[in-house]
Structure 1
Amino acid sequence: MSDKYAPPTLPVTFRPGHTRAVLLTAGVAIFLVISGIAMLLEQLGPGDRLTFVITGALIFWVLAQLARVKVVADESGVTVVNIVTRRRLAWEEILQVNLRPGDPWVFLNLSDGTSLPALGIQPGIAKQRAIADAQALRALAEAHSAAPEAQDQG
């Protein structure tokens, strides 16, 4: 599959753009609505209003954390930023890039025998974009894992 696909120029960042836009827009809208309700309800005291505003801010913060996911590829490897974790991988650690039908996001099979979810590439709203991004990351991983072998043989 990656024989037909040339890897993109590095550095490159993969992130679910449509999902990110929806989450951030919803977060702002929810914050504004909850804060607006707090200001319009005359029977609320200052403490109650502050509680409403803080609740709206917390909801926005949670949605912003969901929107921060990404996969950044550069010459030395890949950084996977998920909801609460960030992991740096060397290219040699990535054995396989998988996005199977029905998967919620890309999975990276690693040399230590584990699999790392990469939420920065997810087919939720933009399926074709996620497939193209997964192919690009797969092509990059294959190109960079083949480079040391070519040097060893030469």
Structure 2
Amino acid sequence: MAVEFRPRRIRRVAVISAVFLVAVFSVVGWLLTDTPTGVIFRTSDQVAMVLLGVLLAGGVLLLARPRVRADESGVEIRNVVTVRRFEWDQVLHVSFPDGASWARLELPDDEYVSIMAVQAVDREHAVSAVRALRELHRSATG
């Protein structure tokens, strides 16, 4: 059995925010013209404003990137910029500490890896994700 989980709420917020950023920066870029203060905006300034909006939107969309994939052999965690794979025998357990924003894999030597794809704001989705990961861990190590 293989499972895959992604955050839900942050993905919606990130997509809406990215669209908003591109729209606002496009409108601002389009409206840039000569001002009464004597500042002269050229076409390159307008294009740069739109590109700045696209870059900011891309940065916001990175928040929608987290994913966790797990199967009988191990778990792969993709956070905002990193991807790591762990075999189940490397994992002590899957936890979701009180007050934490996301779940985590507990590793030997008091180390842990955050699972940003399983977020507290997703409530029941996060609970089912942690249960599924714990079940895969239990069946692989038990």
TM > 0.5 fold call: yes
Q: Is 1:39 the equivalent of 2:14? A: no
| Counterpart position of 2:116 | 119
Letter in 2 for 1:73: A
Which residue among 130, 137, 140 is the counterpart of 1:141?
137
Task: Please report the TM-score for the alignment, with normalisation by the length of structure 1.
Answer: 0.81
Letter in 2 for 1:87: R
Superposition deviation, residue 75 in structure 1? 3.2
Unpaired segments of 5 or more residues in structure 2? 35-40
Partners of 2:62 and 2:10 lie apart in 1 by 12
Q: Deviations over 1:60-104 (max 9, x none)?
A: 111111110011112321110011110011111111111122101
Judge conservation of contact 1:93–1:112 (CA < 8 Å) in 2. no
4+ residue stretches of structure 1 with deviation over 2 A?
40-44
| Counterpart position of 1:26 | 17
Tell me the secondary structure at the aligned position of residue 38 of structure 1.
Answer: helix
Identity of aligned residues (%): 32
| Counterpart position of 2:53 | 56
Tell me the secondary structure at the aligned position of residue 88 of structure 1.
Answer: strand
| Counterpart position of 2:8 | 17
Task: Please report the TM-score for the alignment, with normalisation by the length of structure 2.
Answer: 0.88
Superposition deviation, residue 52 in structure 1? 0.9
Tell me the secondary structure at the aligned position of residue 13 of structure 1.
Answer: strand
Judge conservation of contact 2:72–2:136 (CA < 8 Å) in 1. no
Tell me the secondary structure at the aligned position of residue 99 of structure 2.
Answer: coil
Tell me the secondary structure at the aligned position of residue 57 of structure 1.
Answer: helix
Task: Give the RMSD, CA atoms, in angstroms.
Answer: 1.5
Tell me the secondary structure at the aligned position of residue 80 of structure 2.
Answer: coil
